Amino acid sequence: MLEGFELPVVYKGQEMEFGARLVISGYVYQFIIIVNDRDLVFEKDDEGNYRVINYTPAISVHVDTALLEAIIVSLKEISS
């Protein structure tokens, strides 16, 4: 199942929106969030917290850690 939507994120006091998709496979679901033209995959770990599973900071387009944390806060809000 693949659905597209806009994820609102508050980052450094400014509201932003990022393109996102929800991918569901069996009991696992992942959010693919497009940040700086990169597809970042977020999923829950064993403790139920979101994490980025494919982020490599060495790639030329860096994403601020605070932005990743703000995205996780937004994901928690929409999935609770």
Report the pLDDT value the prediction gives residue 2, as an integer from 0 to 100.
55
Can you tell me the distance from the alpha carbon of 7 to that of 60, in angstroms, rounded to the nearest whole number?
A: 24
Q: What is the pLDDT of residues 12-66, one digit of tens each?
A: 999 999 999 999 888 888 999 999 888 899 999 989 999 998 766 666 667 899 9
Model confidence at 76, in pLDDT bands (50, 70, 90)?
Answer: very high
* CB within 8 Å of 60: residues ≥ 6 apart: none
* CB within 8 Å of 50: residues ≥ 6 apart: 31, 42, 43, 44, 72, 75, 76
Can you tell me the distance from the alpha carbon of 63 to that of 4, in angstroms, rounded to the nearest whole number?
A: 21
pTM, 2 dp: 0.86
In this predicted structure, the answer to whether residue 1 has a pLDDT above a threshold of 60 is no
* CB within 8 Å of 37: residues ≥ 6 apart: 61
